[in-house]
């Protein structure tokens, strides 16, 4: 699994001009599932995302987690994070999990985050979405459950 983490002041997602998810201060997550990923990948990334100390404390140092600042999550599925552009001009998405498997792990990731009593909003799996965000910092991190970067 891969996650792009963006610290935001606010973020929202719309489908067909209808707002389906919106948060204030928190993290915007773009989540992709690789073919062969499983529950261990979900657990690793939920733990990692929720434990990231990327919010500033009173001294201005990134030392606080999402929970510590009372932030929210907006989680959007984005299989294109597994786009392979090394050959040619058209990305290959062969590493991405099939939709059914990807949706199962995406929903599991969302549920595991909610179990931590954090406000969680989502996009709509397999829909074309419009995402708006006001990045804070900016702070953007890339996480991968296979620890390839």
Q: Which of 42, 78, 109, 122 is catalytic?
A: 78
Strands (DSSP E) contained in 33-145 are 55-56, 62-64, 72-77, 120-122, 130-144
What sign results for the dihedral spanned by CA atoms 113, 70, 142, 75?
Answer: positive
Helix (H, G, I), strand (E, B) or coil at 42: helix
- Check if 115 is active-site: no
Contact 76, 123 (CB under 8 A): yes
Here the tokens at position 120 are 């969680």
6, 42, 79, 109: the catalytic one is: 79
DSSP bridge pairs for 120: 73
Catalytic residue check, 79: yes
DSSP state of 127: S
Known active-site residue 78 = yes
Question: What are the E-state strand segments in the chain?
Answer: 2-15, 18-23, 26-32, 55-56, 62-64, 72-77, 120-122, 130-144
Give the residue numbers marked as catalytic: 78-80
């Amino acid at each position: 699994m891969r996650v792009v983490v963006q610290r935001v002041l606010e973020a929202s997602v719309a489908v067909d001009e209808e707002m389906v998810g919106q948060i204030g201060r928190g993290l915007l997550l773009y989540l992709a599932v690789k073919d062969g990923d499983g529950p261990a990948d979900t657990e690793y990334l939920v733990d990692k995302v929720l434990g990231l100390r990327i919010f500033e404390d009173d001294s201005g140092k990134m030392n606080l987690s999402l929970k510590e600042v009372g932030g929210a999550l907006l989680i959007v599925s984005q299989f294109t994070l597994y786009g392979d552009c090394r050959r040619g001009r058209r990305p290959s998405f062969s590493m991405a999990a099939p939709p059914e498997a990807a949706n199962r792990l995406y929903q599991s990731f969302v549920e595991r985050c909610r179990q931590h009593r954090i406000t969680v909003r989502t996009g709509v799996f397999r829909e074309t979405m419009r995402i708006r965000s006001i990045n804070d910092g900016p702070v953007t991190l890339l996480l991968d459950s296979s620890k390839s970067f």
